[in-house]
Structure 1
Amino acid sequence: MRSLTRSAVTVAAGVLLGSSLLTVPAAAYGGPAVPVIAWEGCGPEFPGFDCATVEVPLDYDKPRGATTKLAMARKTATDKNKRIGTLFMNPGGPGGSGKYFVLGAASSFAKLNERFDLLGFDPRGINESSPVRCFQTVAELRTFFTNEAIGKVPYEPEQKRPYVDHFRKLGPHCTSNAQTASKHVSTADVARDMDLLRQAVGDKKLSYLGLSYGTYIGNTYASLFGKNVRALVNDGTLDPQLWSSGWQIADDRTNSGRSFDEMLNVCDQAGPHCVFHSPDQTAKARWEKLADSIRAKPVVVDDELVDYDYLIGFGAYSTYGPGIWRPFLNFLVQVEKAASSGTPVTTNDPEIKALRQKQEEYNNGNEAYYVNQCADTEYPRHFAEYDAIGRWAEAGSRFGPSWWWSNAACADWPVNEDRFAGPWMTKTAAPALVVGNYFDGVTGYNGAKASSRYMQGSRLLTYAGWGHTAYGATDCVTDHIDNYLIEGKLPAEGTVCPAAPNPFLPTTQLNTKPAVSDLLMTLRK
């Protein structure tokens, strides 16, 4: 099943890490013991990085009971004399690896790394942190999520009930196989873990940068531990009320379509520099005609079937950032050729092939996503509700259903008793910084506005451009975030950073500094 994520990192790594699992005595009041972190080198693949594994309570209601492991990595501050402390980082998902985000992305945060140790940890139940496994083998997992008869977004009426009937089996299957561990993987427990790690690294207050779903961790931490905040940045921000209540679709149904349409508008503005521009019609009209054609009759490009589900999934993926726009629109031109000729097309375009391979990869992300999302959020239980909301999602845009239907896997999945679902209104010890893009197709701008309202005294920084998350998109955004995290200096109220130059124009006119959003592009939940 191809489905969308709020972001995850595609950094590959296979280092086996060993470290002692040490703790100091528990506090006198019987609270959780603060781990002692035994840092070791991460191996020759990651010079200059330290890795460790620690144990934390599985159930914070029983802080001296069973434990679960957290895997993490850090890049120590390069200016030891001016070191501020530790900057905790999370790239999103749910299911994204904070550990490998730091291992792969530290160079994108060079200014912050001068003053902070950059630290990322895999949230409990995910990747190397005592991963919750719903299947005995990878073959079983693949069979469930890539069921050829079921595993499509159900755009047609006859596909819908079989889809829901299939994916609702995941909850009982997973909670039965994973047993106790699956009952303690909520975002609230992730926030509790992070506060324990804050103590373990010796910081009196938390400094945090959360991207995408990582902003939900940020809002949760602010609600549970607001007095412990030194500096907190949410970038690519979710509305925590929508997310926790199961109504994120209220934003998703229109947001991806709006951001996709903006890509087509920017294409038209670039004229002949954009391959999908036409002198006799808008790029939007050309897209609508092509999408209707593929819905009626799929085509073959590079020996793979391109049907409507595939086309829409790839289109939604393009809203992750301008780095995908050019190869995606090149791909549309090839699909158009196949549709008009009625014969298969071979592109021999390495950029197209690279993106399509990334889109089709399976990296265990589906399982990791549901372990957390279904634990946090109460979704409908009945097919009729899924069907009604699915039709409402499709009325919002072509991309609405691709965000909605995969939630059917949560239909029979009990939420965790220790989850946090509000109230979200809170006041942090230091004001937070919330960042939102006008055209973020994954987490809409309204989410940033809502998050800023919930954290009293926070400041909203707006980027008037495109892509999922804003750090690295322009110097304006990056400098404001860096200055806030390092100096505690908030941008002036109402600050809007201008969009980067049109990405379809010749590259000599573009800011070549890579955006962090380029590290957050994946279709896997």
Structure 2
Amino acid sequence: MRTTLRVLGTALSCVALVAGATTAHADTGWTPTTITWHPCPEVPAAECGTLRVPVDWNAPRGESFDLAVSRRAATDPARRLGVLVADPGGPGGSGAAFAQSGSLFSPEVRARFDVVGFDQRGTGGSAFVRCSEDLLGRGPSTDPVDQAAFDALVAHNRTLIADCRARSGPVFDHADAGQSARDLDALRRALGERRINYFGISYGTVLGQAYAERFGGHLRSMVLDSVVDHSADTRRFVIDRAASVEAAFGEFAAWCDRTPTCALHGRDVRAVWEDALDGADAIGWGRAGFISTIHTMLYDPAWAEIARYVSDLAEEEPPLSARFEYNYPAVRLATVCQDFSLRVRDHADYARLRAEELRRGPTLRGSDLGHDETTSCAGITGPAANPPHRLTIHTGPEILVVNSRHDPATPYAWALSVHRQARAHTALLTYDGWGHVAYDRGECTRSTVDAYLLALRTPAEGASCPAVEPAP
């Protein structure tokens, strides 16, 4: 099951490369499409193209649009193992740009696989979801204090979503991971592959889970790094993240206590943090923007840099420029709000959720990621298009799940949950360190994941890799 069909898939792909194009086999009601490859404008060593797919796979004869696709050929084609489709997550990250670089992967992985990526619906070059910048920038507080404030947030969200829909077209209502899983399988067929390999990071793991459930027999291997648990309800979606970022900040504070070069060494880190929040308010940046930036910096984790900025803000020095993630504030309305049932009913419902969020994550005032994604969905009615549910896999290879124990964005508890839900079809590798995305944290994580991709060798139950101390 692991290797017998690869030869045929590789042969078909090689024929297509010679011809300069690949063709997808017809799906029910779907007209076959062709990818015409050409050198990518910014990375000539990679090839770019587009794949025509239906807006709605449930009505495949209806409107269609182009998915942006790219691939970087295996550097050792004589030993080629197939296609590795890579997704950087987000939502909003460009899979096509990610594949063109291929820099995350080790030289041996790049030697053995064509690294392929596509921009998921609503991102990059694939029917980019657009919303009014004015509406995105001037919404009411996402921490409503009463029912009137909650109603104002709901009204704003509904106005914003109507604007996004008008600017973006029908793809806005068909951008969930279930639709994207069909896109991924259309790409597989267009590439002439019987089976593919998939490497999903962060929100890219939601697509990975959807694909494994629907198309597991078309997988040779799958890595889910920094897992979003698609079974999470609204409470877990918010509270688990609040707890994880609180724990991540605690790890940073402990590092400062033991590291003389930390700018906060010998000081009460949490007390200085509170002064920094006041400083962010005083200079007009605002504590919410500062918290969001520090949360993102915990992904690395850039502890030394965080310490310097916290120290500076406590003295009201100029802030670090905010980081942005493509069109994330817009596309999350089309994806996250349809992949999860984030339906907060009223202010009383919100207040209960917020109280527990602050109890579990007092330092960073909860998780801005979980909180803002949930409040951005307030006002959306009806069931999610791709509702959360327990992972159910019927066929396919053993999937490798990888997660940092102290991940500030995708809680380690989520990786444990996904592994429990599909224990017969998953193996779990724990990185006993910090940060978001575990694969490239050290030799242990990289070599273990590479052994899985290259030889389909999964780690034993309970396997872990030691923490690698961040640079001072």
Bin the TM-score by the shorter chain: 0.7 to 0.9
Matched, 1:373 2:336: yes
- Alpha-carbon distance, 1:68 to partner: 2.0
> Which structure's relative contact order is higher, taking Cα pairs within 8 Å and 6+ residues apart?
1
The letter for the 1-side match of 2:52 is E
Q: Matches of residues 81-480 of structure 1 in structure 2 within 5 Å?
A: 81-106=78-103, 108-134=105-131, 141-147=132-138, 150=139, 153-154=142-143, 161=150, 162-242=152-232, 247-270=236-259, 272-278=260-266, 281=267, 286-293=268-275, 298=280, 304-322=283-301, 324-338=302-316, 345=317, 356-359=320-323, 361=324, 363-378=326-341, 379-398=343-362, 399=364, 400=366, 402=368, 403-414=370-381, 418-455=385-422, 456-480=424-448
Q: Secondary structure at the match of 1:207?
A: strand
Classify 1:142/1:315 alpha carbon distance in 2 versus 1 (closer, same or farther; 3 Å). Answer: same
Q: Secondary structure at the match of 1:273?
A: coil
Classify 1:430/1:362 alpha carbon distance in 2 versus 1 (closer, same or farther; 3 Å). Answer: closer
Contact 1:374–1:415 (8 Å) recurs in 2: no
Contact 1:439–1:467 (8 Å) recurs in 2: yes
Matched, 1:47 2:44: yes
The letter for the 2-side match of 1:121 is F
Q: Distance in 1 between matches of 2:21 and 2:345?
A: 41
Q: Distance in 2 between matches of 1:88 and 1:25?
A: 19
Matched, 1:26 2:15: no
Classify 1:152/1:290 alpha carbon distance in 2 versus 1 (closer, same or farther; 3 Å). Answer: farther
Q: Distance in 2 between matches of 1:66 and 1:429?
A: 32
The match for 1:12 is none
Q: Distance in 2 between matches of 1:307 and 1:25?
A: 53
- Alpha-carbon distance, 1:313 to partner: 2.0
Contact 1:266–1:502 (8 Å) recurs in 2: no
Q: Distance in 1 between matches of 2:25 and 2:180?
A: 22
Q: Distance in 1 between matches of 2:325 and 2:193?
A: 37
**Range with greater deviation from structure 2 (361-370 or 246-255):** 361-370
The match for 1:37 is 35
- Alpha-carbon distance, 1:163 to partner: 4.2
Q: Distance in 2 between matches of 1:58 and 1:330?
A: 47
Contact 1:291–1:308 (8 Å) recurs in 2: no
The match for 1:58 is 55
Q: Secondary structure at the match of 2:103?
A: helix
Q: Distance in 1 between matches of 2:147 and 2:327?
A: 28
Q: Secondary structure at the match of 2:335?
A: helix
Q: Distance in 2 between matches of 1:404 and 1:111?
A: 40
What do the CA deviations read for 1:253-293 (whole angstroms, capped 9, x no partner)?
A: 211010111111122222x1212111xx5xxxx23223434
Contact 1:375–1:413 (8 Å) recurs in 2: no
Q: Secondary structure at the match of 1:357?
A: coil
The letter for the 1-side match of 2:108 is K
The two structures, once aligned, show a CA RMSD in angstroms of 2.7
Q: Distance in 1 between matches of 2:411 and 2:120?
A: 24
Classify 1:22/1:62 alpha carbon distance in 2 versus 1 (closer, same or farther; 3 Å). Answer: farther
The letter for the 1-side match of 2:252 is M
- Alpha-carbon distance, 1:454 to partner: 2.4
Q: Secondary structure at the match of 2:128?
A: coil
Classify 1:66/1:153 alpha carbon distance in 2 versus 1 (closer, same or farther; 3 Å). Answer: closer
Classify 1:269/1:177 alpha carbon distance in 2 versus 1 (closer, same or farther; 3 Å). Answer: same
The letter for the 1-side match of 2:201 is L
- Alpha-carbon distance, 1:363 to partner: 4.0
Q: Distance in 2 between matches of 1:199 and 1:373?
A: 27
Contact 2:200–2:223 (8 Å) recurs in 1: yes
Q: Distance in 1 between matches of 2:24 and 2:200?
A: 28
Q: Distance in 2 between matches of 1:363 and 1:24?
A: 29
Runs (5+) with no aligned partner, structure 2: 1-19
Q: Secondary structure at the match of 1:169?
A: helix
- TM-score by length of structure 2 reads 0.87
Classify 1:170/1:424 alpha carbon distance in 2 versus 1 (closer, same or farther; 3 Å). Answer: same
**Range with greater deviation from structure 2 (171-180 or 256-265):** 171-180
Classify 1:76/1:333 alpha carbon distance in 2 versus 1 (closer, same or farther; 3 Å). Answer: same
Matched, 1:500 2:438: no
The match for 2:11 is none
Q: Distance in 1 between matches of 2:121 and 2:111?
A: 28
Q: Distance in 2 between matches of 1:373 and 1:63?
A: 23
- TM-score by length of structure 1 reads 0.78
What do the CA deviations read for 1:130-183 (whole angstroms, capped 9, x no partner)?
A: 12334xxxxxx2211221xx4655387799534454334323433455453222
Q: Distance in 2 between matches of 1:299 and 1:62?
A: 50
The letter for the 2-side match of 1:146 is G
Contact 2:102–2:115 (8 Å) recurs in 1: no
Classify 1:458/1:95 alpha carbon distance in 2 versus 1 (closer, same or farther; 3 Å). Answer: same
Q: Secondary structure at the match of 2:264?
A: coil
The letter for the 2-side match of 1:74 is R
Contact 2:338–2:385 (8 Å) recurs in 1: no
- Alpha-carbon distance, 1:494 to partner: 1.5
Q: Percent identity of the aligned residues?
A: 28
Q: Distance in 1 between matches of 2:25 and 2:470?
A: 57
What do the CA deviations read for 1:166-217 (whole angstroms, capped 9, x no partner)?
A: 3343234334554532221110011111011111112211210000011111
Runs (5+) with no aligned partner, structure 1: 1-19, 135-140, 339-344, 347-352, 505-525
Between the two proteins, the alignment pairs up a number of residues equal to 447
